[in-house]
Structure 1
Amino acid sequence: MCEAILGMIEAGRVEGRTHGEAKIVAIIRKKYIKKKNLQIISDELELDYFYVKEVIDLIHEHPDWTDLQIGETLIMRNNF
Structure 2
Amino acid sequence: MMPTLPAVKDQLLTLAQHLSAQATWDDVLYEIYVLHSIERGLADVAAGRTIPAEEVKEYMKQRMEMQRARSLEQ
- Normalization by structure 2: what TM-score? 0.34
Query: Larger Rg: 1 or 2?
Result: 2
Higher relative contact order (CA 8 A, sep 6+): 1
- Normalization by structure 1: what TM-score? 0.32
Between structures 1 and 2, the one with greater helix share: 1
